[in-house]
Structure 1
Amino acid sequence: MQIQVDLPPTFNEKVRGTRGPATGLWVCSGSDSAAEILSLSGAEWLLIDGEHSPVGLETITSMLRAVAAGSATPVVRVPVLDTTLIKQYLDLGAQNIMVPMVHTGEDAAHAVAAMHYPPKGIRGVGSALARSSRWNRVSGYLDNASETVSLTVQIESDRAVRNCEAIANTDGVDAVFIGPSDLAASMGLLGKQTHPDVLERVYQCIDVVQKSGKLVGVNAFDLDQAREYVRSGVDFVAVGADVQILASQSQVLANTFKDGNQGS
């Protein structure tokens, strides 16, 4: 008897089915235990970061298996827009890919092509040997692979803001994720993510992407700013990371018992 496996919904489907903005957390530590813990937190989605974290293909595979126990939908960020890397990430079972530093409509189209088999794209065919099709146990995987994946591109430069409309309207882009930190740096405002000029560009992009009908999200660890983005109507927001939560909350806990602050 042939065992049949069904893949979970994509990030695009998860966000569109969420009432209110989908709340997300980052996994930056490279720890599958941390990934599993966050997947059970109640967050709607997790960003497994392959750009700024010490992870390789094997680690990402382990993390995807770990988060399968929870209800959060994993989105895996590749380190760079590269056709071969995206193919490998897809084959190891990452259904939802985020591509950083997309500056133009041409960059977005390149990312789309990497996500799909011919004739829609240029993804190499190896699914029968890979976790993406659960080793050929997903019925009709090759014919339906495009429906099992989603693409989120990142706007995080002043150049990308100028090309926001072309990026958002690229066929095959499901969502746009705005990164204020790199955007601020590209504007000569390093570390000033809430500078009025940076916020002006963020809101400009939010408006453009909303008009395109695509999903739009923002990274905002400043919770007051995150609430402002939510009020502007974003579809998803990232509000914290495993390493940031551990660093800040461990310090709070330690300080509670210092200098005679033990309490009663």
Structure 2
Amino acid sequence: MPVASNPLKKALAERRLQLGLWLGLPTATTAELCGGAGFDWLLVDGEHAPFDIPTIAAQLRALEASTSHAVVRPPIGETWIIKQLLDIGAQSLLVPMVESAEQARALVSATRYPPRGIRGVGAALARASSYNRVGDYLATADNEICLLVQVETLKGLANIEEIAGIEGVDGIFIGPSDLAADMGHLGNPGHPKVQEAVRSGLERIIGSRQAAGILTADETLAQSYIDLGATFVAVGTDVTLLSRATAELAARFQNKRQSSTATQGY
């Protein structure tokens, strides 16, 4: 029995738009809830959110029955953690801070078994192979790995075409926040010069025949990236959605209370 096919990898290869949402709350309940919302993919953020291997595994389990495909972002593109993430069942990875073709090539190697790469063989103990119940896991796993690399510095932008040319890279994601910081506009990814660089980067990725991706909670901006040709676009985060919705609900009733008090006083 071969490993399960990767719907995100197939969709990106066919350049079909895939809409996503960021998961930063380390609870399986939140992941399960968001998994029923209708997004094509959900990003489990192991870089900036308080996740570890067990909590990421819990997210993957929560999303297993969902129609939303799970993508995991490790804190760093190191072989040891990539190996662990693949073994707990992640098929798609978004690796941050990729700046060169050499780095991208090393990441491809880390996600493939020998002789194509250097991934350690431990599938008999792993959730990825259903604990050795997927008999053809070792023979079929490589073909279903989706490797997305995140370009978020000026150095990375300068090397986009070279990164895009590495076989085994399935898409390139622009990180506006870190790019803004690298350009001297910390905390201001909407700065015109940053946005110019972002759009140029997306256009160069698309021109290199690669899938282009990005995250923004600004719906107008997200649509502009989609219109430009971006293929995998995250349009919000669970943290921001919850924070915004609770604040707006509280504010509405605080205003009603103040209006009521004012009327009674009159």
Which category describes the TM-score, using the shorter chain as reference length?
Answer: over 0.9
CA contact under 8 A between 2:181 and 2:187: conserved in structure 1? yes
Task: Show the counterpart of 1:89.
Answer: 85
User: Which secondary structure state, in structure 2, belongs to the residue aligned with residue 23 of structure 1?
Assistant: strand
Q: What amino acid is the match of 1:124?
A: G
CA contact under 8 A between 2:12 and 2:170: conserved in structure 1? no
- CA shift, 1:172, in A, is 0.8
Structure 2 vs 1, CA of residues 6 and 167 (structure 1 numbering), >3 Å: closer, same or farther? closer
Task: Show the counterpart of 2:199.
Answer: 203
RMSD: 1.7
- CA shift, 1:128, in A, is 1.4
- The equivalent position to 2:217 in structure 1, one of 196, 217, 221, is 221
User: Which secondary structure state, in structure 2, belongs to the residue aligned with residue 171 of structure 1?
Assistant: coil
User: Which secondary structure state, in structure 2, belongs to the residue aligned with residue 250 of structure 1?
Assistant: helix
Q: TM-score, normalised by structure 2?
A: 0.93
Deviates more, 1:179-188 or 1:218-227: 218-227
Deviates more, 1:253-262 or 1:193-202: 253-262
Structure 2 vs 1, CA of residues 169 and 45 (structure 1 numbering), >3 Å: closer, same or farther? same
- The equivalent position to 1:49 in structure 2, one of 23, 40, 45, is 45
CA separation in 1, counterparts of 2:258 and 2:128? 51
- The equivalent position to 1:246 in structure 2, one of 242, 246, 257, is 242
- CA shift, 1:31, in A, is 1.1
- CA shift, 1:250, in A, is 0.6
- CA shift, 1:23, in A, is 1.0
Q: How does 1:57-72 map onto structure 2 within 5 Å?
A: 57-72=53-68
Stretches of structure 1 lacking an aligned partner (at least 5 in a row)? none
- Deviations 1:212-249, CA, capped at 9 Å, x for gaps: 22211111111111111111011011111111110001
Residue 171 (structure 2) pairs with residue 193 (structure 1): no
CA contact under 8 A between 1:5 and 1:134: conserved in structure 2? no
Stretches of structure 2 lacking an aligned partner (at least 5 in a row)? 260-266
CA separation in 1, counterparts of 2:36 and 2:173? 23
- The equivalent position to 1:13 in structure 2, one of 10, 13, 17, is 10
CA contact under 8 A between 1:12 and 1:175: conserved in structure 2? no
- Deviations 1:152-181, CA, capped at 9 Å, x for gaps: 000111111011111111111001111101
- CA shift, 1:139, in A, is 3.1
Q: How does 1:114-125 map onto structure 2 within 5 Å?
A: 114-125=110-121
CA contact under 8 A between 1:26 and 1:242: conserved in structure 2? yes
Structure 2 vs 1, CA of residues 137 and 194 (structure 1 numbering), >3 Å: closer, same or farther? same
User: Which secondary structure state, in structure 2, belongs to the residue aligned with residue 26 of structure 1?
Assistant: strand
Q: TM-score, normalised by structure 1?
A: 0.93
CA separation in 1, counterparts of 2:157 and 2:221? 19
Residue 177 (structure 2) pairs with residue 181 (structure 1): yes
- Deviations 1:83-134, CA, capped at 9 Å, x for gaps: 0100010001011011000011111111111000111111000011101111
- CA shift, 1:29, in A, is 1.0
User: Which secondary structure state, in structure 1, belongs to the residue aligned with residue 141 of structure 2?
Assistant: helix
Structure 2 vs 1, CA of residues 262 and 256 (structure 1 numbering), >3 Å: closer, same or farther? farther
* % identical aligned pairs: 42
User: Which secondary structure state, in structure 2, belongs to the residue aligned with residue 46 of structure 1?
Assistant: strand
- The equivalent position to 2:230 in structure 1, one of 229, 234, 242, is 234
Deviates more, 1:196-205 or 1:116-125: 196-205
Q: What amino acid is the match of 1:258?
A: Q
Structure 2 vs 1, CA of residues 80 and 262 (structure 1 numbering), >3 Å: closer, same or farther? same
- CA shift, 1:141, in A, is 1.3
Task: Show the counterpart of 1:162.
Answer: 158
User: Which secondary structure state, in structure 2, belongs to the residue aligned with residue 113 of structure 1?
Assistant: helix
- CA shift, 1:69, in A, is 2.1
Structure 2 vs 1, CA of residues 135 and 195 (structure 1 numbering), >3 Å: closer, same or farther? same
Deviates more, 1:192-201 or 1:82-91: 192-201
CA separation in 2, counterparts of 1:242 and 1:5? 33
Q: What amino acid is the match of 2:214?
A: V
User: Which secondary structure state, in structure 2, belongs to the residue aligned with residue 176 of structure 1?
Assistant: strand
